[in-house]
Structure 1
């Protein structure tokens, strides 16, 4: 895992500044503190830089990127991991290819020269984002992995394509002038992003499963966006019909393969462990195939209603893992809120993002660089309570009405802490999403349902600018109808979540950004695309059986899981909201006083200060019900996040910060 950056000029004779490339690597030194490199050959108009976190091939010189191969024809830089690369490397070596390192990264340029980019991508397994420049074709490829586990941002400015692993990497280029995007601001306040967008005007993301092909012709860029993979649930009549045990064994086989591949590293590998079936399954399988005890890292909160440490401890004992529990309180969470936003580069609705940043810091302090995680299980096997709600409402033909109502009551009662966040408090319907999907998935309703609050929070000038803007319509336009038509309602709900909240939330502020903030690589085994493609074939009634979510996964892992966990319903993992504890609430108010005072809100021109004061008053009122308080807590966190984005990236000169960081590191060229 590393950080990549680059500049592609519209004409080959344009010089790419070496120090700017190095500054772009320096501003994301946290992603790769072990080494750095840059490459910008004369007369090419192309340069890349790289900050390295050494996981595979620890040799300081051999693993350095960017790779400049085949007589200078190919420049290549990569962030992430490719699994099963030894087999590919062996096959290529047998065919006469020569490798300069033992790095997994180097397989890509060799495959590309033999197969072309389209066929190369079919061979890549793992989490990755990379840039490849082909001088002979005068073409730059920007590629992101299938689920968006690894980030990749880009913009076009003054005849240059500027790209990097983080937004701050792009902003480190002195000609990129940061500005909060009005539509992006609206989406920051409601949590759910439009795929491919950011909070910053003109700064885009390469979407998951996509590549950008940027051809240079006569001083102009021809930019083509190509999808090479998507989560393809089969049309029901085309789904294979196997017996239950076949699917159970298939899940067990594919997940074990994914875990074994991700244990491969030249450094120790640990596991994140909560009280959920996902991380417990990963730990159980990793422990089963490891020759030594696995180190298991657990977050514990200072609120029993949200804490899962006791169940995690039972799993650690069952597997013989060495458990390491990090106890977090309000001081730690809110004292590190501002630092977290610097790394997430987007707002957060809950301090779980801060908790995960604190955990990755702890993991590095005890000399671990790599952990396996459970992200992706809920997406593949329908674990979220919103999926169960959609299954009850739309996916069970002939379901007994009384039974359905009982399941609904049980669902809402067992998830009452999360109404207003993981489950909608009130039904919200987007006509545009209804037209595309057939219904508005419950997973989006809590966030789209904040639209009225968000509009009132916008500064009046921005509110007027967005008077006709409908966020559901913008999201619907990015959903590919080819993967929705004819699908089962549960498939549709899972697909929409994968294209929006998985990439925009869980893998961003809940994954890469807070992990790599402390130079730590997280490997989500459930998001192995071989496992995902198999999971898509599993009938909906095996993902949710009756009122039990993730049924097929539970049965596949039954022998590994403690009884209490096997029988337990899904419990959303999030930190206690500020309104649940006066100390937390006072901490949050202190952050508002520092970064989002009425004067600061007025000066920034992004947020309506009067309505923020009204929301604060509502939150302190005993007349406000619990679900409303959950929703307001999320919105206030977003407001604070917006002002921190303004503080970090608008008020400060990021290009100067990047240069200062390069000087501190001694990276002056």
Structure 2
């Protein structure tokens, strides 16, 4: 795990300044405190930088940027390639000579020589973001792993292209103009973060999961989606009994999870695990204990001021079961508030998920213990329907959505939809249900928008009576032609985001069941840009590598091929529960799911609520984009008084206003493009 950065200057756009590139690298020192490297082409048209967190092959021979034998291919790489050993063997048999002892990075340069960029990517098992300069093809290749575990950002600055693992490295470039991307802000109000390739910074983009981007020496772009989470990649159990089908799926999940954990243990430093005492983390700890050959270090976080939310006892029980070296940290509201300024700096752009707060404290606990790598359980809920809310959405889809769409004429649906904005705000407890009317009235409307929605369109309309200020992005418009960005995402209508994703899915996998469609949507949007980015940014701020075995693509492919009827026949997460029964205690499997969270609703009714209210309402962002301060204040006041739970939209608003204050500044700026 590391940090990368770099520049490409087309003819006429100047040349790479070594000091500037070094400054970009220094901005992400936390991602790689163990070493730094930099390479510039002879004509200084291309510069690559690397920050090293030594995990695999700790020798100097594994330092980056790394080159092939003749220096015609160079790479700067962040992540882990779990199948680098067999790939290296194949490449050596093909005549390639490796210089490092067992670096996984080196398979990238030789693999590119042998197979080309697409052939290389399809062979990789791992988490990665890399930039590879091909001298012969005069092209810089940027690539992000299938699931989006590792981030990669890019921007055009004064005619040159810049890229980095974090936005703060791009912000180190003095000629990057800082401003708000208006449509990204609109979508963040719903999805807690901006959908890739948008970011909240105008002109700064994130490469979507499973995509690659080629930038020629002349500065031209060519993008391709090289992978997406789809059913149809594994063998079906065929026409067998229900019991045989169940056994096939349970056995397949267990074997693939075991293989994933085994591959993710590869490291020349100790590997620990975050442990909540739930099914996902407990299963990882159990398998690690079997495979690691040493006692596993486990880490848990709790709350000293809201002990009813703690899973400390369950984590302790699992730790005792597998004889781990267990570490615990607790926090309360004062620690939370003291961390908030650092949180905004760490995130670069809002990831408005309050899980980031306990995640920071447990990551710091790991860092202080000397462990550099941890396993995390992200992805299991999306693959195996682990959310109770998903079961509710499936029920609504079966009972109401289908009949409503089939039997009620569109004019009547549209008439009912017109009532959703005022009613959803008057009855926020019914907001998601009322907004269904609005979505059903649209010919391509979608019931499910993802596992976490802060504000539906009707609720946003109550907060922003006129949303025209959110339309368009001069910088983002330039990306539309590449296929990276749908043009309709530049409109202030967040329904178009899930609509476009699921429309594309339905085109390539028509007739898929609703649960598979839901999984595809969350694996494409919420998982990579919210859940995985909160892990990457918060953990890496503590110089900690987080690995995600449940997102091994062999397990993902298998899970995507399990039909809805089989996946939830016994309730939420049923097949995964059966797959790990006998591996972890039955009591852990059968207890109610709590989920990893924080008592933000309570904190916002304490001293932090008044502070957040003042900071939100004083922000120039609200004036600039036409928010009704009266409506925003009423929402916050209703929450503080206990009349409704508006903690999620308040937290989103606090994040975006704090972000604006930290990174943009309160003085309004004229909008303009940096990518034209």
Report the TM-score, using the length of structure 2 for normalisation: 0.84
1:64-91 per-residue CA deviation (whole Å, 9 max, x = no partner) reads: 2111333331121000111021222233
* Alignment-derived partner of residue 608 in structure 2: 587
Structure 2 counterpart of 1:225, from 223, 226, 231: 223
* Alignment-derived partner of residue 194 in structure 1: 195
Offset at 1:521? 0.4
* Alignment-derived partner of residue 634 in structure 2: 614
Q: Please state whether the residue corresponding to 2:638 is helix, strand or coil.
A: helix
Superposed, which structure 2 residues align to 1:511-526 within 5 Å? 511-526=535-550
C-alpha contact 2:183 2:472 (8 A) present in aligned 1: no
Change (3 A) 1:51 1:604: farther
C-alpha contact 2:457 2:493 (8 A) present in aligned 1: no
Distance in 1, matches of 2:335 and 2:272, equals 23
Contiguous gaps of at least 5 residues in structure 2: 401-426, 474-489, 668-676
Offset at 1:443? 3.3
Superposed, which structure 2 residues align to 1:378-457 within 5 Å? 378-394=381-397, 424=432, 427-428=435-436, 431=439, 435=443, 439-441=446-448, 443=450, 446-449=453-456, 452-453=459-460, 456=463
Structure 1 counterpart of 2:568, from 528, 544, 548: 544
C-alpha contact 2:229 2:557 (8 A) present in aligned 1: yes
Q: Please state whether the residue corresponding to 2:129 is helix, strand or coil.
A: strand
* Alignment-derived partner of residue 641 in structure 1: 655
Distance in 1, matches of 2:308 and 2:231, equals 36
* Alignment-derived partner of residue 206 in structure 2: 205
Mean CA deviation greater in 224-233 or 455-464: 455-464
* Alignment-derived partner of residue 408 in structure 1: none
Distance in 2, matches of 1:635 and 1:81, equals 36
C-alpha contact 1:179 1:201 (8 A) present in aligned 2: yes
Change (3 A) 1:476 1:86: same
Q: Does 1:274 align with 2:276?
A: yes
Q: Please state whether the residue corresponding to 2:61 is helix, strand or coil.
A: coil
Distance in 2, matches of 1:7 and 1:640, equals 33
Contiguous gaps of at least 5 residues in structure 1: 398-418, 654-669
1:500-526 per-residue CA deviation (whole Å, 9 max, x = no partner) reads: 1111211112x1011101110000100
Q: Please state whether the residue corresponding to 1:107 is helix, strand or coil.
A: helix
Offset at 1:382? 1.2
* Alignment-derived partner of residue 97 in structure 2: 98
Distance in 1, matches of 2:387 and 2:216, equals 42
Distance in 1, matches of 2:108 and 2:234, equals 36
Mean CA deviation greater in 86-95 or 331-340: 86-95
Change (3 A) 1:608 1:514: farther
Structure 2 counterpart of 1:355, from 352, 358, 367: 358
Distance in 2, matches of 1:334 and 1:240, equals 55
Offset at 1:42? 2.1
Q: Does 1:311 align with 2:311?
A: no
* Alignment-derived partner of residue 10 in structure 1: 10
Distance in 2, matches of 1:423 and 1:533, equals 34
Q: Please state whether the residue corresponding to 1:149 is helix, strand or coil.
A: coil
* Alignment-derived partner of residue 409 in structure 2: none
Change (3 A) 1:586 1:145: same
C-alpha contact 1:385 1:422 (8 A) present in aligned 2: no
Distance in 1, matches of 2:558 and 2:314, equals 29
Change (3 A) 1:651 1:111: same
C-alpha contact 1:490 1:540 (8 A) present in aligned 2: yes
Distance in 2, matches of 1:129 and 1:94, equals 26
Distance in 1, matches of 2:352 and 2:22, equals 34
1:89-126 per-residue CA deviation (whole Å, 9 max, x = no partner) reads: 23323333222223211110101001111111121111
Superposed, which structure 2 residues align to 1:46-57 within 5 Å? 46-57=46-57
Distance in 2, matches of 1:196 and 1:432, equals 27
Superposed, which structure 2 residues align to 1:473-484 within 5 Å? 473-479=496-502, 480-481=504-505, 482-484=507-509
Number of corresponding residues? 617
Change (3 A) 1:117 1:599: closer
1:128-169 per-residue CA deviation (whole Å, 9 max, x = no partner) reads: 000011111111111000010000011123221111111111
Distance in 1, matches of 2:9 and 2:200, equals 25
Offset at 1:574? 1.2
Offset at 1:393? 3.5
* Alignment-derived partner of residue 503 in structure 1: 528
